[in-house]
Amino acid sequence: MPLALLKYGLSSEYPVEVDLPAPKDLKPAYDVVIIGGGGHGLATAYYLAKYHGVTNVAVLEKSYLGSGNTARNTAVIRSNYLTSEGVRFYAESVRMFKALSNEFDFNIMYSERGQLTLAHTDATVRAFRQRAEVNKHFGGRTEMIDRQQIRELVPMLNLDPGHLPVLAGLWHIDGATARHDAVAWGYAKQAAKRGVEIHQLTEVQDFIVENGKVTTLRTNRGDVRCGCVVQAVAGASSLLMNKLGIRAPIHTYPLQAMVTQPFKPFLDPLVSSSALHCYVQQTSRGEIVFGGGSDPYPLYNTRSTLDLKESLLAHAIEMFPFMAGAKLMRQWTGSTDMTPDYSPIMGRSRLDNYYLDAGWGTWGFKATPICGWTMAELVASGGRTPALIQPFALERFASFRQVNEMGATAASH
């Protein structure tokens, strides 16, 4: 193995380059136009081309590939949600993530590490017991553990932070991480190999609608006719939907995270506390990543703030006091499209050929494979919604059939 690694490292193929076709002009028309060149849009294009034979597809990205929330997250993968609909959906995504490196012939650096969520009150313990049973029943690997088991899993964790002693924990064995940009590159490369056109620096500015269908997209590079459109623009979903008069209860909030200098490995699981509004993980390079809840005000700006940095680090130090001396390397912000029930909006819109992939809040990355798979099936079938995403239809808000995942975040909002 060391000889093979040395041979690979010295070869002309290292560092790995993602071979995408050179930029070219837009064609006058496509069968499918996907707005958004992040993980979801690229995954939809890939599954359409490989499994449904639909290759006359254009992915339009206003910036560069994976530049939106695909790049602005902490790369957590899990399925320990609250509802049966959510657990089934995300458990299938976890299963697909495990096979992605083989599917791409490209290493996405998938690492199963487990996620530990801390319970600081009796009420949280009761809620976690119910959550563990729902997860086990619908295919997730989740169980309750006590203080001693937590101490063995994470020896460096402070079990008595201030007035919030740790009583128990929700241990999600399937918790994992993957390299987010590698996921986007893998989907992009494989989609392009099958004939999908990927157009960067191409912004959709307006639409032409005729007889209840989107017939033409107006971009900064000219007009494009389309058979159907998939919207996958996390962080700007409502802005695009407003252009078409599609009403949805989406509000966009900034979500910030930060990372320290590297340390020797000390933390394998992903550790989170909704009471402290903080989660902590260590990367394969030794850096410590901190994340928390969304900012408390709607905003499309992605600038980081000192207020959030101070409050988030204070809670992180309560969990791991030795990190008080760590040096921060960088801080970043993404945009989260939040819905009232903290679940996504997937499926048809009021326009016959316009499909929605929106409202992902803070868990869009972990849904990338299954979202691409189900959206591709929706498009290829001519609008027949797959059973797995029927609960996430936009109409659920009018019929009061919400899929309530409030509290299922790693650091509750």
> If pLDDT is split at 50, 70 and 90, which confidence band does 276 have?
very high
β 29-35/142-145 pair status: unpaired
Q: What's the whole-number average pLDDT of the chain? A: 93
Give the orientation angle of helix 84-104 with respect to helix 122-137, to 10 degrees.
60
pLDDT for 407 equals: 81
Contact 50, 375 (CB under 8 A): no
pLDDT for 33 equals: 98
**pLDDT digits 0-9 by tens, 3-35:** 766 766 677 665 555 578 888 999 999 999 999
**pLDDT digits 0-9 by tens, 159-212:** 999 889 999 999 999 999 999 999 999 999 999 999 999 999 999 999 999 999
The candidate with the shortest Cα–Cα distance to 225, out of 26, 29, 27, 25, is 29
pLDDT for 18 equals: 58
Element (H, E) at 200: none
> If pLDDT is split at 50, 70 and 90, which confidence band does 410 have?
low
pLDDT for 31 equals: 98
The answer on pLDDT for 409 being more than 90 is no
pLDDT for 183 equals: 97
pLDDT for 53 equals: 98
pLDDT for 1 equals: 45
User: What pTM was estimated for this model as a whole?
Assistant: 0.94
Looking at residue 217, the DSSP 8-state letter turns out to be E
> If pLDDT is split at 50, 70 and 90, which confidence band does 2 have?
low
> If pLDDT is split at 50, 70 and 90, which confidence band does 294 have?
confident
Counting residues of the chain whose pLDDT is more than 90, the rounded percentage is: 86
Looking at residue 15, the DSSP 8-state letter turns out to be S
